[in-house]
Amino acid sequence: MVSPTSTLFSYNFTDHHILSPFPTIPKSFIGLCKPFHSRVPTSIHLHFTPNSFIVRAVIKWRCPKQIHPPNCDRGFQNKVLYLESIGIDSFSLIENHPMLITASLSDIKSTVEYMTSMDFTAIEFRRIVGMCPEILTTKVSDVIPVFTFLLREALVKGSDIKHAIYRRPRLLVCSVDKQLRPTLYFLQSIGIEEVSKHTYLLSCSVEEKFMPRIDYFENIGFSRRDSTIMFRRFPPLFCYSIKNNLEPKYNYFVVEMGRDLKELIEFPQYFSFSLENRIKPRHKRCVEMGVCFPLPTLLKTSEMRFRNRLDVCLNSSTPLKTSPLWSAGGYID
């Protein structure tokens, strides 16, 4: 029964004739409805209300009876209804993660209930699913060991566990034995003691992500020891793109700024600042005024404090780089 405040829309996939006004359906939806042999959707009827994107979805299929399992349409419909009931755009989600088509509704419900029991709000859970839709096709029996690992081995505090997952939802779909634990051991082996503060790194591949970045710094002149020290001092460095971040900023540091590589070892956070919006403008202003600040002072200070320090330099003599005052930053502070 269609209520007076709702509208029933109909769209025919066979001849693409719009029977009545209908909001655009992703083209890939047709493809998402075909994974089972030759089954092809002939039409879809969606029941819309002003306050809900999709309330009811009824899909009709054209496929041979012998390959059409009993109640398969009903099962898919129930899955769509359930996902929409918890505020998740099912069509968009299935488009990005087709495995949901074959996932068990009971498993999906179990995962949602478990995450809810871990005090994630509906909004937080929707964000987690949006970033990592695979979580809905991951069984609770595979999720629980991740929480256990984070608490007992990565030493994440119970009060911080939600933040760790919210920041990096992909942790929930990683294998403890094949991914999380080996990465933890690697990070600890290079001297990163408080991995609990950098749990987002645990879902990264040592071979595909960490080692190429360490090798990059070795190839441009740093020793393995110094390269490791940089990552130990600033673990987020592992997340930066070599081509789009490390390489252009290093080239500017060496060619335009002409500074000592030792400064990068001491302050690898240099790579976290915007080249166009922070590094270049401030370096150019220092060159124009004939001053040279230590990297932390050059980049970390607010714009107002940076200007004030430049003004101070105009009214006093500038210490040489070899001066203890310069290296300690005492002249600036």
At 14-60, the pLDDT tens digits run 333 333 333 444 444 444 444 433 343 444 444 444 333 333 333 43
**Structure-model confidence comparison of residues 8 and 298, the more confident one:** 298
**pLDDT for 330:** 39
Residue 103 — very low, low, confident or very high, per pLDDT cuts 50/70/90? confident
At 171-220, the pLDDT tens digits run 999 999 999 999 999 999 999 989 999 999 999 999 999 999 999 999 99
Residues 50, 51, 52, 53: is their CA dihedral positive or negative?
Answer: positive
The most confident of 50-64, 264-278, 281-295, by mean pLDDT: 264-278
The residue-averaged pLDDT of 108-128 equals 92
Give all strands of the β-sheet with 52-62 in edge-to-edge order.
7-12, 40-49, 52-62
DSSP assignment of 5-73: T-EEEEEETTT--BSS--PPPPTHHHHHT--STT-EEEEEEEEEETTEEEEEEEEEEE--GGGS-TTHH
Exposure string for 202-221, b = 16+ CB within 10 A, e = fewer: bbbebeeebeebbebbeeee
The pLDDT of residue 287 is above 80 = yes
Of the chain, the percentage scoring pLDDT greater than 70 comes to: 73
The pLDDT of residue 317 is above 80 = no
Residues 274, 280, 283, 288: is their CA dihedral positive or negative?
Answer: negative
Name the average pLDDT for the chain: 79
**pLDDT for 323:** 52
Taking the C-alpha atoms of residue 192 and residue 209, their distance in angstroms, rounded to an integer, is 16
The residue-averaged pLDDT of 112-136 equals 92
Residue 319 — very low, low, confident or very high, per pLDDT cuts 50/70/90? low
Taking the C-alpha atoms of residue 155 and residue 161, their distance in angstroms, rounded to an integer, is 10
**pLDDT for 102:** 86
Residue 322 — very low, low, confident or very high, per pLDDT cuts 50/70/90? low
**pLDDT for 19:** 34
Query: In this structure, are residues 107 and 141 in contact, taking their beta carbons and an 8 Å threshold?
Result: no
| Residue with tokens 């992703």, as numbered in its chain | 26
Taking the C-alpha atoms of residue 113 and residue 126, their distance in angstroms, rounded to an integer, is 13
Query: In this structure, are residues 327 and 260 in contact, taking their beta carbons and an 8 Å threshold?
Result: no
Residues contacting 106, CB < 8 A, separation 6+: none
Residue 98 — very low, low, confident or very high, per pLDDT cuts 50/70/90? confident
The pLDDT of residue 122 is above 80 = yes
Residue 312 — very low, low, confident or very high, per pLDDT cuts 50/70/90? confident
**pLDDT for 18:** 33
298 is written with which tokens? 């050059």
Identity (one letter) of the amino acid at 210? F
**pLDDT for 95:** 83
On the 0-12 / 13-18 / 19+ scale of CB atoms within 10 A, 259 is: middle
Q: Rounded to whole angstroms, what are the CA distances from 177 to 142, 152, 205, 255?
A: 11, 14, 13, 44
Of the chain, the percentage scoring pLDDT greater than 90 comes to: 57
Nearest alpha carbon to residue 42 among 3, 14, 4: 14
**In 63-192, which ranges are continuous DSSP H helix?**
72-85, 90-96, 105-117, 122-131, 140-152, 161-167, 181-189
The pLDDT of residue 97 is above 90 = no
Query: In this structure, are residues 164 and 171 in contact, taking their beta carbons and an 8 Å threshold?
Result: yes
**Between vectors from CA 245 to CA 240 and to CA 251, what angle results, nearest 5°?**
135
